[in-house]
Amino acid sequence: MSVVKTRSKRILVAGGAGFLGSHLCERLVSEGHEVLCVDNYFTGRRANVDRMHNHARFELMRHDVTFPLYVEVDEIYNLACPASPVHYQFDPVQTTKTSVHGAINMLGLAKRLRAKILQASTSEVYGDPTVHPQKESYWGNVNPVGFRACYDEGKRCAETLFFDYYRQHQLRIKVMRIFNTYGPRMHPNDGRVVSNFIVQALRNEPITIYGDGSQTRSFCYVDDLIDGMIRLMNSDDDMTGPVNIGNPNEFTIKELAEQVIALTGSRSELVYRELPQDDPTQRQPDISLARKGLGWEPTIELEEGLTKTIDYFDHLLKSDDYR
């Protein structure tokens, strides 16, 4: 399938002050679009979008997507939801509401405007997979009553809503499943493995590994992820997804820790803790569909991406802005 060329549009990014959202806003503004960034700042930060604050094509609005929003836009990217276990387990009921009510409100807005809408879903819909690597056709292995269910099942329900709006209302939808993404502007206290390891290494603190470190992840640098997201939004209408967007190169958690130590020159030692409930033992995307349908695949290897991310955190931890 071909990727459609874009004209200048007015685009809503829900969750636009977050890690991924801020990179998306910046990319869209650079491509000549008007961007309305909406965020309630639960995990997003104004500092992430400060560099665009006075840009003529950028607008920032404080709003919670669990409440309806009435604006005029051509496209909607729905990224609004805390994405790390530390944050989404802090208020699990609100996390579910953000995924479900937020999806309903964004879909309702898209229906009224006849706007195209993209849902930032997650590899967590696969749960602790029994199929490896994970294809979009795999239905997953999710614990619906566990500690992670507020996020996993919330995102699964959001996907259901998107496809029901597609079938019932002929809404133009895009659903992408994001695999572990990292890069500058990650929150230093979000509990995700890359940010955890880098912060601990830069402080020469023990690096905490949950389990024995043999569980695997596939890490995608943020620039690659944003490129895939925009390609999906700009693809033909019959390319609805879901589409896996991630880096298929697989690493163990211990390998990641050792690479972070080497790149930072840290004196940190590895310490091991009990693996949390329902933590997936393996995660690797099959990106055949993205390659064929979007002409997309990641280009930034882990060492290059980690080096850029380490540089970001090194400056952040030394700055007056760090809290």
Residues, the chain: 323
Integer CA distances (angstroms), 303 to 23, 101, 256, 260, in order:
20, 39, 10, 9
Q: How far from 262 is each of 110, 200, 254, 255, 315, CA to CA, in Å?
A: 47, 13, 12, 11, 18
Q: Is 263 exposed, middle or buried (0-12, 13-18, 19+ CB in 10 A)?
A: middle
Looking up tokens 């999906």 gives 232
Q: Which helix (H) or strand (E) holds 197?
A: helix 193-202
From the candidates 77, 151, 166, 221, which is the catalytic residue? 151
Asked whether 239 and 174 are in contact (CB, 8 A), the reply is yes
| Residue 158: its H or E element | helix 149-169
User: Which residue in the block uniquely carries the two structure tokens 């094509």?
Assistant: 57
Among candidates 184, 265, 280, 268, which has minimal Cα distance to 226?
A: 184
Q: Residue 274 carries which DSSP code?
A: P
Tokens matching residue 178: 């994001």
Active site residue 151: yes
* φ, ψ dihedrals at 223, nearest 5°: -60, -40
Catalytic positions: 151
